[in-house]
Amino acid sequence: MAGWIRPWFQLVEISVSAPIVIGVRTARIVMTGRPPGPAERREMRRMVTEKARAFTQAGHAALTRPPSDVAGYLGGVLAPVHRTVRSNRRRLIRV
């Protein structure tokens, strides 16, 4: 049972942080108007590359890690996405 705590907390933090990140990014893009400024274009490029990297790492973990311990397996697969969402929330809220 204790092994399931880490993936559960990862899922909760992703569920809470992702809408915050989406809201902050959307607000910044909308406030700058059209066309987006250089900072917003950098943020949009960063958004795409971070997602691609995180999901590639998650897919790699899912394919290369043996699923003998299901909770540990799930935690390892969620780790790259969790790390990316958490760091984005911290970075975007700080500014």
Percent of the chain beyond pLDDT 90?
Answer: 0
Q: Domain boundaries in the chain?
A: 2-94
| CA separation for the pair 26, 58 (Å, rounded) | 25
Residue 1 confidence (pLDDT) above 60: no
Which one is predicted more confidently, 23 or 36? 23
Q: What is the pTM of this model?
A: 0.72
Tokens representing 34 are 């059209």
Is residue 95 over pLDDT 70?
Answer: no
Residue-wise pLDDT tens digits, 79-93: 888 888 888 888 888
How is 6-19 classified by DSSP, letter by letter? HHHHHHHHHHHHHH
